[in-house]
Structure 1
């Protein structure tokens, strides 16, 4: 396991757009103890780059994602976008809140969280564009960017398929021209074929617009296809971190090897996963 206390804080140079430095978050437990959801999590993402955060349920990856966008306040640590630190507290002034929203947007696993069921897809995008002072006529361009057309523009969320709703959620997030897009299990509930389409779409968007992606997932196959770097989290700690292809092909940590052993593939033996879990527990 990496000794997080001795890791060097990330630098803002080398084109880093997002700099996350030693984010920590704990929650009180019954009695006097505390649960560590995230401990000294640090990483950077370049413009147009992508980072994956992987781990099992309870690893702390979603807590990190929520701290990035401001839904959870860190106990300590900093998040900076393009060299500007983000305040832990949500600004009171409307203009400041909108400016903050334009820095980092989030796409959830369940798009209903961010989509108003009363609005058509077109109305949803026009509302977001108007709120941030952009031309409402850009709605059609956004829909086209995510592979939706005039027919879907007139549909409400319940009239769209799961993949179409997720495309709409991505378009709504992109409507404010964010610098960073955080995706929390954004393709987990979709069929494999639809997952591939969404991942291809996201890859094209980040290359065309320069938006940085932070992709949170339990699925190593998904992370492998879309990220340049990856963090592996267990019980709130980053146990391994580095280029995605290197970490997934030559894992240094036992826990990373356990996650890989649990992924079904050609010649896969479930006994390997059992053995890896036993080695970790031992």
Structure 2
């Protein structure tokens, strides 16, 4: 393993501060999502890794749950194991919508070493959603950890067939409200082209927008040039791994062999 897995020297608060600094840096933060300890170790072995983020969809699938339905206890147990191998590398967790009590959820997450999270609004009424952001930030302060919240708005993914201009306006309004409530950055998932991304950055703020890299989306460098703070990849990293597994299985069923060059990453 690399220096990433050396004994922890940074405090949890310092790791949270480091994550916030990465979010605010001129260079876009590229986060390759992980879903278990072995996937985390594989990413930690890469010198480019600056932070880890878990993929809630992928963790739910690992345990046989539909996305957004996995029990909090199951998520926290797994993420605590990822934190244990991450050393000084900050770990941000996908905490779905924060569950019933978002502040208490984050307090428990901090208790297992998490220093940041994605929490989605599911298009709750704005005042309610902003209050949940405030509760998350307050929980971090109470625990002495400047929790780096990547506050997600579902303005696009739950916007239905409304005009894109309405989704942009909704995302900007919600993003500003969540920043005012203490969020670090605003996660706007969806396949965002350059024009939409430019409007979101102008409305929410330079280095304050977080995006997801999906098929059809822009490359990280293009989002960086538009002022985006962070890019992650959600469930797609697990899909790539599972595609490789299924493809090699087809080959083996056809009397193939394990490909030369396969690395012993487990």
Q: TM-score, normalised by structure 1?
A: 0.37
Q: Which has the higher strand share?
A: 1
Kindly indicate which of the two structures has a greater share of residues assigned to helix. 2
Q: TM-score, normalised by structure 2?
A: 0.38
